[in-house]
Amino acid sequence: MSHYFHTPTGAENRREIRARFWDTDWTFTTAAGVFSADGLDLGTAVLLRESAPPSGATRLLDLGCGYGVLAVALATACPEASVDAVDVNERALELTAANAAAHGVAERVHPLLPEQADPDVRYDQIWSNPPIRIGKDALHELLLTWLPRLTPGGEARLVVGKNLGADSLQTWLRASGFGCERTASAKGFRVLRVTPTA
């Protein structure tokens, strides 16, 4: 299991990275021991490029938030929305809080460990570059925990590498009772739109 699936103990070595998406230039603080610390990862970049900011959503979830790129972007694009940013890595949550503050959305971005999230909350949208490398069983358990928390009309947007099982994941999601369609395919990644019912 990769180091960023738990809280690191080594030096942070914070630094800034820059990215451009949704016609905006962004700066984020990253650190050692978090996912894609040296720059915006390709999967998340594809997800953002191939997905328009949501409109009308008031409760959003960034699942596996890392240092908070999706959470900050969603909160910035949706000024009426509250965004839960969930990760198992406490350093990642600290960076998410710092990045939310730097972009002026700290009051609406809520960095949380999974067990800190209110299980009764329902989300209009869930955005995620899910941690495929935790293994199929753990990934399925993760998705079966969070996808049922969508509102009846809600949707999840997932980005998954084709070589990491995107197509078999789509088949499994459909077999599990969710609607799932591929909305984009680029740079070796699939963007999947998941709905609560088929």
Residues 18-49 have pLDDT tens digits of 999 999 999 999 999 999 999 999 999 999 99
Report the chain's terminal Cα–Cα distance, integer Å. 32
Per-residue pLDDT for 198 more than 90? no
Residue 55 lies in a domain: yes
Residue 190 lies in a domain: yes
DSSP 3-state assignment of 85?
strand
Residue 18 lies in a domain: yes
Return the pLDDT at 11: 86
Per-residue pLDDT for 1 more than 80? no
Residue 3 lies in a domain: no
Instruction: Name residues whose C-beta falls within 8 Å of residue 95's C-beta, 6 or more positions apart in sequence.
Output: 14, 28, 29, 30, 31, 34, 66, 67, 68
Average pLDDT over every residue of 146-172: 96
Residue 157 sits in a domain whose CATH number is 3.40.50.150
Residues 98-156 have pLDDT tens digits of 999 999 999 999 999 999 999 999 999 999 999 998 999 999 999 999 999 999 999 99
Q: Shortest CA distance to 128 belongs to which of 49, 168, 69?
A: 69
Residue 88 lies in a domain: yes
Going by pLDDT thresholds of 50, 70 and 90, the confidence category of residue 157 is very high
Residue 28 lies in a domain: yes
Around Cβ 33, how many Cβ atoms within 10 Å? 19
Residue 34 lies in a domain: yes
DSSP 3-state assignment of 140?
helix
Per-residue pLDDT for 181 more than 80? yes
Per-residue pLDDT for 2 more than 50? no
| Structural domain containing residue 180 | 14-195
How many independent structural domains does the chain possess? 1
Per-residue pLDDT for 186 more than 60? yes
Residue 78 lies in a domain: yes
